[in-house]
Structure formats: C-alpha cells, structure tokens
A and B are shown apart, each in its own frame.
Chain A
Amino acid sequence: GQNIDQPTEMTATEGAIVQINCTYQTSGFNGLFWYQQHAGEAPTFLSYNVLDGLEEKGRFSSFLSRSKGYSYLLLKELQMKDSASYLCAVRDIQEYQLIWGAGTKLIIKP
C-alpha cells in the first residue's frame, strides 16, 4: 500500500532548530514536496527533492534518502511565524499525483 508518516505534533523554542521527519512507502517515486500551511489558509510550497541529498533555501532545508524512503525538513532560527502545519507529499510516478501525509503541527514557544 501507499503510506506517508509524519509526527502529528512537535514543539520547539523560538530561535532553535527543529527537524520534521517524513517516511514514505509508495509504489513509485517521482519527487517529494514539503508545504507549509498556516491554520485556515492554503498550503504554500516550500521545497522539492527528487535526488538524494540536502537542498538548502534560507532558513529551511530539506533532505531526501530514496533508498530509505525518508525525508526531513530542517528549520533553523525558528520564528513565531513558523508555527504552522508542515505537509510532506510524494509524487507517485505511476499515478502521477501527490500522496499526502497528514501533516505535522509545529508549535513555537517563546
């Protein structure tokens, strides 16, 4: 079957670093996406990984290991505005659509 797992909720402190993990099992793989979604708003695109390794974009970085079916999103220098849900999604090459994780709610405390 197809499955994406993420922690339900995480808490971190302003200014710190947090790593949100995502593991997946899909019949095919054609890229992994991370989206940020603030409460009551639409998801916004953060990152895309299709090859193994780390992609850095400012305070946010995303890592992928295809052999392990594993990705993480790393957020540095946390700000209060980073409080949101972070969604991991995998593009299944066979169905050519995104398979979504349930999202990780990140709570930032002062």
Chain B
Amino acid sequence: EAGVTQSPTHLIKTRGQQATLRCSPISGHTSVYWYQQALGLGLQFLLWYDEGEERNRGNFPPRFSGRQFPNYSSELNVNALELEDSALYLCASRGGQEFRNTIYFGEGSWLTVV
C-alpha cells in the first residue's frame, strides 16, 4: 500500500513568486495536514483539511492557502514568496476509521526561496 506521497521533492523559487505543493494521502484517508519545518526547527502547523473542507489553520498569513480535492489529495499554495518561507513542507494524512488515528507523513517537499 502506498504511503503519503508529495511532489515536487525539491523546488527553487525566487522571492515574490508562487509555489504549489501537492500531496496524495494514504488510500482511504480523508484528512490531510500541512506542516512547515524550517531548518533545525520544530513542526509548525499550517492547515488541516478533512472531507474537502478546511477545518483549521495555523498562525500563518493568508498568502498560505490550500485546498482538498474530491479524491482527498491536497494542494498547498504559497503566494508572494519570502526568503523565510524556505523550509521543508510536510504533508500528513489520517484515516478516521483507524483506532489510533495515527497520522503518517510524506517525505516532504523542500522549498528554497532565493
């Protein structure tokens, strides 16, 4: 069974541009979480989608946005990129039927803003 998949693995953008990151959850999982992890720092919660709707968002400006599609895959968009947006962006999925409701992470997308 495939795990959480993310693309692209690496992305280099210039300041002011837009970046789009994609995530496919584990088959059967309906919840998708997005996290930002700057180098050497902890996980910062960005967004949570469940059943196609945004359920919660972290303390990030509106230029961080996303959506979840009918097949439960998700997209994270970052507009007007700033140098400090350079980080590892992790997607995780959760299946509501699992007893432990464990979340599983994808390998992440490295975004570098120059």
- Whether B45 and A44, one on each chain, are in contact in the complex, defined by CB atoms closer than 8 angstroms, is no
- Whether A48 and B102, one on each chain, are in contact in the complex, defined by CB atoms closer than 8 angstroms, is yes
- Whether A45 and B42, one on each chain, are in contact in the complex, defined by CB atoms closer than 8 angstroms, is no
CB of B104 closer than 8 Å to a CB of A: yes
- Whether B102 and A41, one on each chain, are in contact in the complex, defined by CB atoms closer than 8 angstroms, is no
Chain A contacts with B in 18-60, Cβ cutoff 8 A: 31, 33, 35, 40-45, 48, 50
Q: When each residue 68-110 of chain A gets 1 if its CB lies under 8 Å from chain B and 0 otherwise, what string results? A: 0000000000000000000100010001111011110000000
Contacting residues, chain A, for B2 (C-beta < 8 A): none
Least CB distance from B21 to A in Å reads: 14
Least CB distance from B45 to A in Å reads: 7
Number of interface residues of B (CB under 8 A): 19
- Whether A43 and B101, one on each chain, are in contact in the complex, defined by CB atoms closer than 8 angstroms, is no
Q: Which of B60-68, B71-79, B105-113 contacts A (4 or more CB under 8 A)?
A: B105-113
* A7 CA to B43 CA, complexed, in Å: 16
* A33 CA to B55 CA, complexed, in Å: 21
* A101 CA to B33 CA, complexed, in Å: 16
Least CB distance from B50 to A in Å reads: 9
- Whether B105 and A43, one on each chain, are in contact in the complex, defined by CB atoms closer than 8 angstroms, is yes
Contacting residues, chain B, for A91 (C-beta < 8 A): 101
Q: Which residue of B lies closest to A96 (CB)?
A: B55
Q: Which residue of A lies closest to B56 (CB)?
A: A97
Contact of B106 among A42, A96, A100 (CB under 8 A): A42
Contacting residues, chain B, for A44 (C-beta < 8 A): 105
Least CB distance from B41 to A in Å reads: 7
Contacting residues, chain A, for B108 (C-beta < 8 A): 41-42
Contacting residues, chain A, for B33 (C-beta < 8 A): 97-98
* A35 CA to B42 CA, complexed, in Å: 12
Q: Measuring CB to CB, which residues of chain B are less than 8 angstroms from any residue of chain A?
A: 33, 41-43, 45, 48, 55-56, 88, 90, 100-108
Among all A-B residue pairs, the 7 with the closest Cβ atoms: A102-B42, A42-B105, A100-B43, A48-B100, A42-B107, A43-B105, A42-B108
Q: List 17 A-B contacts (CB under 8 A).
A: A31-B101, A33-B103, A35-B105, A41-B107, A42-B106, A42-B108, A43-B105, A44-B105, A50-B100, A91-B101, A97-B33, A97-B48, A98-B33, A100-B42, A100-B43, A100-B45, A101-B42
